[in-house]
Amino acid sequence: MSSTTDKIKGAVNEAVGNAKQGIGNATGNDKLKAEGKAQELKGEAQRGIGAAKDTVKDAASKL
């Protein structure tokens, strides 16, 4: 995947995870809250991977 794809998928996962957490809080559904938190963390990791790819790409282009 490209760095942009990783960043976009990460942002989507974070948003969906936050929504799940909100719904879980509103309904008292602990399982949904946990799923939301896991998805949010997955999204943060994906965005980090995208940023790391950009860093490597920028460093390689300077060589």
User: Taking a C-beta distance cutoff of 8 angstroms, is the pair 32, 47 a contact?
Assistant: no
- The series of mean pLDDT values per 10 residues for the chain, 63 residues long, is 93 98 98 98 97 93 88
Contact 14, 44 (CB under 8 A): yes
Angle between helices 30-61 and 3-27 (to 10 degrees): 160
pLDDT at residue 1 in the model:
81
Sign of CA dihedral 9, 15, 16, 20: positive
Nearest Cα neighbor of 43 from 6, 59, 28 is: 6
